[in-house]
């Protein structure tokens, strides 16, 4: 497996799909309920849409996102508050691009530092506390020398969320000192309803929130993410640095039907509530695991006791399961692994496999 | 209509789709045979693909392009010769990005100069000759002070193609002086078989060819283009400056089935041969048109005689037809319009509308 594949979290293509081998992928954190049926059922519409260039302003698409954010979070937005990306990764990249020095928690999603390197932005890491909470004091201290901070809410790979009061201190500081606060909420739909920081947007122009269809709506291949901010200048800069027609017609259609699929949304929330509890309990009973970290997302970070992540990876792989070795996250080592939460059948498969490890 | 919409060639959304009004779009140059049926028929496959992240290396996708280029052009390529884009516009943008000063014909596709402005690349325009051929002497002269040139083959908006011998002089010069030759072949499938310059790739590392599914396979909404070059250093640079997973699953599937659809390809080539002849003949018989330029593509540039492009645009619009005013192309003025070539019924509709203009 190349370094590139490894960084991007267990490439199931090299050893699985391209070889016709069936592997269960616990390394990728996708809603197991799969592609929303409303999208599939209306796919004919996309065949008409795809024959013409998309609306260069994506007006209908933006309307659909605005309605969704209003319905589920009560947020009132205008088109000019949204920036659309060919995946959240485009928005992450555009957010980081102008920064000179940025505070990034360690561990965090690897794309943050990849974009920093690409744009020559210096990284100041702020280590998570031993319980994997953010170290707010340290972040605030380090922000003195930085012009921005990126925080996952929930954070990847641990699944921790922001503490509202302490986050507000960061916002107050950054608003006053004209620094950027980038919050990656790609997994927010898996968390409790009040976990979001979206309600700070109106008051704090320093805040950018990044979201995506990818995880909760189970469509990583659709390539759609978006940024939300009341900072007109940031939106203008991002717009100017995008290519035209960056969103494909199928993503447009998916937004149209997935975001209004109440049944899918409700079932997904019920599933994650139940399976998260179940998996936390089960993993806590496994001999080879020293510590299971609290999560507010659809993945669980664990610290191993009697084996390292490479050994466990090889063992699981032999049993048809791909897990995420977490040793390439900054701040973690080969004692750490991350498991996606899937449906009960697959979760039990993983649990039984882990139990049988000797 | 905003400037942005105008630059991008007649936005049919503002006045058409978003208002529920049916307009015939002669401003956008898309194959009227529509989305290849092989893609539609196999769409179920995409629902599986879209639930996982695409292969970060897009190995199957690259295989499919390589097979297509071998079958229809006899070109032998490896994966490392290909760079994939979220539309050809991404590849155009990445090609221009490192250049300091570039020769661009006038008129040419507006995205070239938009990318130049974005990256601070100075533009040296080389006016087309009065018959809309490239002025090779002028290009070679201007290349002395530039580090690259972009040429459309066929060129947009006129449909002219490169003269092989004269193009070779440009290549020889650029190869020797380490300059970049970017050839945009987004419309090449509409041209005669020997119009391509793809066979120069192996000998000239200075050459980059850009292609797309957009026009010939009638899928502008799919967002897929690609660059081909034997210049490893250019590929490396482009790769490093892309975001991961920039191609969506539906584009992957479309490549898989559209490029092997022989019937579609043959029917499309038969259609363009016939309708191009027909339209050239018919347009030459229209009173208000002073000159019809030779084209090797699926659009025709015309110079008007008794009215200007704004008048003709308004008149056609009242008759449910959107044409392309060509006055915002550098080097052209309000005497010019561009018409797409569509199927016989729609072409006759346009011709009759133009004939009735008073």
Look at residue B6 in the predicted model and tell me its pLDDT: 53
- Asked whether residue A321 carries a pLDDT value surpassing 50, the answer given is yes
Q: What residues of B are in contact with residue A37 (Cβ under 8 Å)?
A: none
Topology given in CATH for the domain delimited by B37-260: 3.40.640
Q: What residues of B are in contact with residue A26 (Cβ under 8 Å)?
A: none
As for the ipTM of the complex, it is: 0.94
Cβ partners under 8 Å of residue B20, min gap 6: none
- Asked whether residue A334 carries a pLDDT value surpassing 70, the answer given is yes
Candidates B51, B91, B242, partner chain A, best to mutate (most A CBs within 10 A): B51
B95: contact with A, CB 8 A cutoff:
no
Inter-chain touch B86–A243, beta carbons under 8 Å: yes
Interface of A with B in 266-285 (CB under 8 A): none
Look at residue B26 in the predicted model and tell me its pLDDT: 96
Look at residue A358 in the predicted model and tell me its pLDDT: 84
* Tokens read off for B174: 């650029």
pLDDT digits (tens), chain B, 358 positions: 444 555 554 567 777 777 777 899 999 999 999 999 999 999 999 999 999 999 999 999 999 999 999 999 999 999 999 999 999 999 999 999 999 999 999 999 999 999 999 999 999 999 999 999 999 999 999 999 999 999 999 999 999 999 999 999 999 999 999 999 999 999 999 999 999 999 999 999 999 999 999 999 999 999 999 999 999 999 999 999 999 999 999 999 999 999 999 999 999 999 999 999 999 999 999 999 999 999 999 999 999 998 999 999 999 999 999 999 999 999 999 999 999 999 999 999 999 999 999 8
Q: What residues of B are in contact with residue A52 (Cβ under 8 Å)?
A: 12, 25, 28, 30, 220-221
Per-residue pLDDT averaged across A234-243, rounded? 97
The CATH classification number of A38-260 equals 3.40.640.10
Residue A93 DSSP code: H
Nearest CA in chain A to B117: A240
Look at residue B92 in the predicted model and tell me its pLDDT: 98
Alpha helix segments (H runs only) across chain A = 3-7, 12-15, 37-41, 43-49, 59-73, 88-96, 110-119, 136-143, 164-177, 232-240, 249-258, 262-284, 309-318, 344-355
Inter-chain touch B55–A11, beta carbons under 8 Å: yes
* Tokens read off for B71: 């079958």
Looking at CA atoms only, how far is residue B96 from chain A in angstroms?
Answer: 13
pLDDT tens track for B108-132 = 999 999 999 999 999 999 999 999 9
Inter-chain touch A89–B18, beta carbons under 8 Å: no
- Asked whether residue A18 carries a pLDDT value surpassing 80, the answer given is no
Task: Beginning with the edge strand found earlier in the chain, give each strand of the sheet holding B289-292 in spatial order.
Answer: B289-292, B299-304, B336-340, B324-325
B43 vs A4, A43, A246: nearest CB: A43
User: Residue B261: which region, alpha, beta or left (left: phi > 0; alpha: psi -120 to 50)?
Assistant: beta
Look at residue B344 in the predicted model and tell me its pLDDT: 98
A245 vs B57, B87, B243: nearest CB: B87
Provide the residue ranges of all domains of chain A, joining segments of one domain with +.
3-28+263-355, 38-260
Inter-chain touch A59–B218, beta carbons under 8 Å: no
B313: β partners:
none
pLDDT tens track for A244-287 = 999 999 999 999 999 999 999 999 999 999 999 999 999 999 99
Per-residue pLDDT averaged across A328-351, rounded? 97
Q: C-alpha angle A56/A61/A62, rounded to 5°?
A: 90
| Architecture of the B3-30+263-355 domain | Alpha-Beta Complex (3.90)
Written out in words, the top-level CATH class of the domain with range A3-28+263-355 is alpha beta
């Amino acid at each position: 497996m190349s370094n590139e594949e490894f960084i991007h979290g267990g490439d199931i293509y090299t050893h699985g799909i391209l070889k016709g081998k069936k592997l269960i992928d616990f390394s990728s954190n996708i809603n197991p309920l799969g592609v929303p049926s409303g999208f599939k059922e209306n796919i004919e519409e996309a065949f008409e849409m795809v024959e013409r260039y998309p609306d260069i302003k994506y007006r209908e698409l933006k309307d659909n996102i605005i309605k969704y954010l209003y319905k589920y979070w009560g947020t009132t937005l205008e088109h000019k508050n949204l920036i659309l990306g060919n995946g959240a990764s485009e928005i992450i990249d555009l957010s980081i691009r102008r920064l000179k020095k940025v505070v990034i928690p360690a561990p965090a999603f690897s794309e943050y530092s990849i974009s920093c390197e690409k744009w020559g932005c210096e990284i100041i890491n702020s280590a998570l506390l031993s319980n994997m909470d953010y170290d707010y004091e340290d972040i605030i201290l380090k922000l003195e020398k930085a012009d921005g901070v990126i925080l996952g809410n929930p954070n990847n790979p641990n699944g921790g969320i922001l503490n509202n009061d302490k986050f507000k201190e960061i916002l107050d500081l950054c608003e006053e000192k004209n620094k950027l606060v980038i919050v990656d909420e790609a997994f927010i739909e898996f968390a409790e309803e009040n976990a979001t920081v979206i309600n700070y947007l109106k008051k704090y122009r320093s805040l950018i929130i990044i979201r995506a269809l990818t995880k909760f709506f189970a469509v990583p291949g659709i390539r759609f993410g978006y940024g939300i901010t009341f900072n007109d200048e940031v939106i203008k800069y991002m717009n100017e640095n995008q290519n035209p027609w960056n969103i494909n017609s199928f993503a447009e259609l998916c937004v149209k039907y997935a975001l209004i699929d109440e049944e899918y949304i409700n079932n997904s929330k019920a599933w994650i509530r139940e399976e998260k509890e179940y998996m936390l309990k089960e993993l806590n009973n496994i001999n080879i695991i020293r510590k299971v970290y609290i999560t507010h997302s659809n993945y669980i970070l664990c610290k191993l006791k009697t084996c390292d992540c490479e050994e466990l990876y090889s063992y699981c792989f032999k049993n048809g399961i791909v897990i995420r070795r977490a040793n390439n996250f900054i701040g973690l080592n080969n004692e750490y692994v991350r498991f996606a939460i899937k449906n009960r059948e697959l979760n039990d498969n993983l649990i039984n496999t882990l139990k049988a490890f000797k």
